[in-house]
A and B are shown apart, each in its own frame.
Chain A
Amino acid sequence: MLRIPRYLLIAALATWGMSVLYTLRWNPELRFLKAIAIKKESWARQLSTNGQPKTLIFGGSSCAFSINGERMLARHGIPMVNFGLAAGHGPKVLTEEALSHLSRGDTLLIALEPALVTETLEPTPLGIQYALIRNRVDWVVDSHLGVEGISYASALLALRPGGYHAITLLGKVLSGQPLYRYQPSDVTPSGWQQTSVRRRVDGPPTFDPHVPPSSRAFLRSIAEACAQRGIRVAYSLPWGYSPPDRAQEQRERCRTFLLQVLEEMPVLKDPLLGVHGVVEDYADTVWHLTESGAAKRTDSLAAQLSQWSLWTREDLAKP
């Protein structure tokens, strides 16, 4: 009589088992992310062996596309590793990954996209899967940086493709497209990513400029963790595209956002306030800079870093 529960349990376990195998072994997105993380890790290790303090910048893909570590070193003499990965990881996993490559005297630049800071801090399925393929389940199960951990059971149950991934993957297989749009070869040793894809971009990127108390606590926890470990930290707002007629409105939104971030940690003084309105400098999204855009952003950041130029509340509040 208990045939149905038995069959359902077998179906669920078998499918989950296959899903785990797929996620850990074959998922093209995770394979790409793991490959580039290893590349970035090796660059960070190389910089550390030189004995000089290094700077690590991290965030979602906007960060990966915008900072050219090789240029930073060659032109400005700043040893920098770009640990930009994908916004889908969620802020906690991205931060944990970045913190794991830092030592005393280093500098940490947080370049999380504003929406990543203001939205939920709960670990995302991609973040959980990434933590597991990096053998760092503690990034999601431990309560750290003011973010509550999830249970081991929840972490294990997240090892599944999910509707969006499964359906789009099937579409790519059927239409003969590459299974993932980026390749590890798109990323340089320092972690800077490029793409030959060009798409029309419509800005500005939307986000709610109000930073909720949980996100403030998260930023504060990062600042405290860095202070304890002797790491210098600052927030650096990524550049996003805004058409000229909406640039001012977007800058005001960024200003409101940064004023709240400034209460928790220093903010690098980017006079553009994260709004770069040259459409040719963007590749396939409002956050992904082209080579020329990345060169501008890298040089601008180098100037801010070399002088450790920070916003004061008074300066930032001025319209």
Chain B
Amino acid sequence: MNFAEVRFWQLAFLALAVCLLGRLCVAACRREALPVYDKLGLLGLGLFLLASVSWLTFVIFLAVALGTYYGMAWVLTRPERLRRRYLWLFIPAQLSALLYYKYADFVCNGVLRLDFASLHGLIIPAGISFYTFQKIAFVLDTLVLNQRLPKLLDYLNFAAFFPQIVAGPIERRHDLQPQMDTFRFRWSPQDLSQGTALIALGLYFKCCLADNFATLFDPSNTRNPFAIWITSLIFGLRIYYDFAGYSLVAVGVARCLGIRLTFNFNSPYASTSITEFWRRWHITLSQWFRDYIYLPLGGKEGGRWWFNLLVVFLVSGVWHGAGWNFVIWGALHGCMALAHRAVLKRIACPNWMAWGATMTGVLVAWLCFYETRSDALQTKLVTLFTPSAYSLQALRASIAERNPADWSVFAAMLTLTALTLLAEWRSTRVEGEPYSVLRHPRVLCLLVVLTVILSPGKNNGFLYFAF
């Protein structure tokens, strides 16, 4: 479900057209059946689009979703005092497909060095990390809040709602399920307007900003600190606009259908501390970790708060990928969050300085995220922290590394990004509504013009599909 591909929109409009034609027939013959038809239609749409990604994705999704529902139904038949004990079996069972496809190769061959050839090159089914976490949250919310199991059709619509299934937002039961319980195909002009605006903004983020930064991304230089900083900057901007773009399109498509999803980003690069960064970056995942790992471990209460925090960031690193670099990335963010909470929070420093320090930390951490070769990562980290590496000669070499055309594209994209970040900052800090400045009709028209002209047209998949 690649929103940047024409094929997705062709399939989605085709399936929706078929669905709405069927609705006309049902409306003419049995009007009272429309509520059920609408829910079936939405489910059909979601499953069709998921199957169009790949059959493996479709089958594994159905196994996880149905396993969760029927497993939960069985657990709810047990005496109330025993139910939580079954979680020790149930949650690992929910995680089994994710563990196998995403981590088996890394753990068996990378860590334990068992050399299982069959595990090499396993294709990770699209969205498995996202929907597995959503189903775990569903189970925990149902049990802890002692809620009733929804009807199967409503649950499947919650589980298979196509805009969010492949890369989030990881919606929670209390937000999405009630909307699915009452879902109807209603076309509110206000929802359509807001949804279209979000889709246009998301496509600008992805196709204009992220994809142009993708053409400039070259991580080959390991010895020049300036080149490494520039690469990290390019990657940091690329991954943000890539993922935020996807999330905005997802929220926009859902809004067109009358469903409200959570904003997954809120100007993270305007943050003045690492704690604030994580409140603004991949918000639904951060909330998931907070509610299902950090708080159950004890949260910030007691003397173990530092341990709880570190565990959350390590798990977050591993969630992003099976590799040591992701573990280091998570640990680095964990250490920065610890330092902020323990020391930096108490030091009064100007906002610009706090922002600079936060962004420097985030950029160093991005290096650990994109550099999957451990020897290259080590060399790059050593280079970054070697003062003598920062010479005039190195600066000249890093400039000579790219041709003038590349630099002009980089400068132009950086200018455009700076203006976009400024608008994001203003939306959040002054207007109090994420991306509100960029959603102004005149600004949106300009962004659409820029997207049509500047989108490189290369088929760059969304980075978070790999997670």
A residues bordering B, Cβ < 8 Å? 1-5, 7-8, 11-12, 15-16, 19, 122, 124-125, 151, 153-154, 157-158, 160-164, 166-168, 170-171
- Could you pull out 20 A-B pairs where Cβ atoms are within 8 angstroms? A4-B441, A4-B444, A5-B193, A8-B448, A12-B448, A125-B456, A151-B6, A151-B7, A153-B6, A157-B457, A160-B453, A160-B457, A162-B454, A163-B215, A163-B412, A164-B456, A167-B454, A168-B405, A170-B412, A171-B405
Q: In angstroms, how far is the closest chain A Cβ from the Cβ of B213?
A: 10
Chain B residue at minimal CB-CB distance from A4: B193
Query: In the bound complex, do residue B10 and residue A151 qualify as a contact, i.e. CB atoms below 8 Å apart?
Result: yes
> 11 extra interchain contacts, Cβ-Cβ under 8 A, other than A1-B190, A12-B448, A163-B215?
A5-B192, A7-B441, A8-B445, A12-B451, A19-B453, A122-B459, A160-B452, A163-B412, A163-B454, A164-B212, A166-B453
A15 touches B215 (CB 8 A): no
**Does B200 sit at the interface, judged by CB under 8 A?**
yes
Q: Which residues of A contact B405 (CB under 8 A)?
A: 164, 168, 171
Residues in chain A near residue B453, CB distance under 8 A: 15, 19, 160-163, 166
A126's closest neighbor in chain B, by CB? B457
Cβ-defined contact, A167 with B408, below 8 A: yes
Separation of A162 and B207 alpha carbons in the complex (Å)? 10
Chain A interface mostly helix, strand, loop or mixed?
A: helix
In the complex, which residues of chain B have a beta carbon less than 8 angstroms from the beta carbon of A161? 453-454
Give Cα A122–Cα B458 distance, bound, in whole angstroms.
Answer: 9
**Interface 1/0 per residue, B196-239 and A, CB below 8 Å:** 11001000000010011001000000000000000000000000
Q: Which residues from chain A contact B459 at a C-beta distance below 8 Å?
A: 122
A79 to chain B, nearest CB (A): 37
Q: How far, in whole Å, are A3 and B445 apart by their CA atoms in the complex?
A: 12
Residues on the A chain within 8 Å of B452, using CB: 12, 15-16, 19, 160
- A4 neighbours in B (Cβ, 8 Å): 193, 196-197, 441, 444
Q: Which residues of the other chain, A, contact B192 by a CB distance below 8 angstroms?
A: 1-2, 5
Interchain CB contact under 8 A, A2 and B449: no
Q: Does B387 contact A (CB under 8 A)?
A: no
Chain A residues contacting B454 (CB-CB under 8 Å) are 161-163, 166-167
In the assembled complex, the Cα of A161 lies from the Cα of B453 at a distance in Å of 6
CB < 8 Å neighbour of B10 from A153, A158, A163, A166: A153
The complex places the Cα of A151 from the Cα of B6 at a distance, in Å, of 9
B413 within 8 A of A: yes
Complex CA–CA separation, A19 to B413 (angstroms) = 20
Name the CB-closest residue of A to B190: A1
Smallest beta-carbon distance B186→chain A, Å:
14
Q: Collect the chain A residues with CB atoms within 8 Å of residue B455's CB.
A: 160, 162-163
Closest residue of A by beta carbon distance from B404: A171
Given contacts A1-B190, A4-B444, contact A163 B196 (CB under 8 A): no
- Of B193, B408, B448, B449, which contacts A171 at CB under 8 A? B408
In the bound complex, what is the Cα–Cα distance between A5 and B190 (angstroms)? 10
Assess the A8–B189 pair: CB atoms within 8 A.
no
Nearest-neighbour CB distance to chain A for B12, whole angstroms, equals 13
Interface size band for B: 20 to 34
Q: Can you name the residue of chain A whose Cβ is closest to the Cβ of B199? A: A8
The 8 A-B residue pairs whose C-beta atoms are closest, nearest first, are A1-B189, A125-B457, A163-B454, A15-B452, A5-B196, A163-B212, A11-B445, A4-B193
Q: Is the CB of B409 closer than 8 A to any CB of chain A? A: yes
Interface string of B426-467 (1 = CB under 8 A from A): 000000000000000100110011011111111100000000
A8 to B7, CA, bound (A): 21
**Are the CB atoms of B409 and A164 closer together than 8 Å?**
yes
A164 and B215 CA atoms in complex are apart in Å by 9
Cβ distance B143 to chain A, nearest Cβ, rounded Å: 42
Contacts of B215 in A (CB 8 A): 163-164
A157-B457, A163-B454, A168-B405 known; A7 and B445 CB under 8 Å? yes
Shortest beta-carbon distance from A68 to chain B in Å: 28
Chain B positions within 8 Å of A15 at CB level? 448-449, 452-453
Q: In chain B between 157 and 212, which residues have their CB closer than 8 angstroms to a CB of chain A?
A: 189-190, 192-193, 196-197, 200, 208, 211-212
CA distance A160 to B211 in the complex (A): 15
* A124 engages B448 (CB within 8 Å): no
Query: A286 → chain B, closest Cβ, in Å?
Result: 13
A25 smallest CB distance to B (angstroms): 16
Q: Give the docked Cα–Cα distance between A16 and B449 (Å).
A: 8
Given A11-B445, A167-B412: A1 touches B458 (CB 8 Å cut-off):
no
Determine whether the beta carbon of A8 is less than 8 Å from that of B457: no
Query: For the complex, what is the distance from the CA of A162 to the CA of B455, rounded to whole Å?
Result: 5
Distance of B293 from chain A, by nearest CB (Å): 39
Question: Shortest distance in angstroms between B407's beta carbon and chain A's nearest beta carbon?
Answer: 10
Q: How far is the CA of A34 from the CA of B433 in the complex (A)?
A: 50
Contact among A7, A151, A162 for B456, CB-based, below 8 A: A162
Contacts of A7 in B (CB 8 A): 441, 444-445
A8 to B6, CA, bound (A): 17
- Closest Cβ neighbor of B212 among chain A residues: A163
User: A171 — which chain B residues lie within 8 A by C-beta?
Assistant: 405, 408
Assembly CA distance A4 to B212 (angstroms): 26
Q: Are B409 and A163 in contact (CB under 8 A)?
A: yes
Provide the bound-state CA to CA distance between A122 and B197, in Å: 31
Chain B 1-56 residues near chain A, CB threshold 8 A:
6-7, 10
Least CB distance from A224 to B in Å reads 27
Cα–Cα, bound, A161→B451 (Å): 11
Given contact pairs A4-B444, A11-B449, A12-B448, A163 touches B6 in the complex (Cβ within 8 A):
no
Give bound CA distance, A2 to B189, whole Å: 6
Note all chain B residues with C-beta closer than 8 A to A19. Answer: 452-453
Q: A125-B457, A168-B405 are in contact. Are A163 and B441 (CB under 8 A)?
A: no
Residues of A within 8 A of B441 (CB): 3-4, 7
How far, in whole Å, are A5 and B454 apart by their CA atoms in the complex? 21
With a CB–CB cut-off of 8 A, which chain A residues contact B10?
Answer: 151, 153
> Once the chains bind, are A8 and B196 in contact (CB under 8 Å)?
yes
**Which B residues touch A154, using CB under 8 A?**
6-7
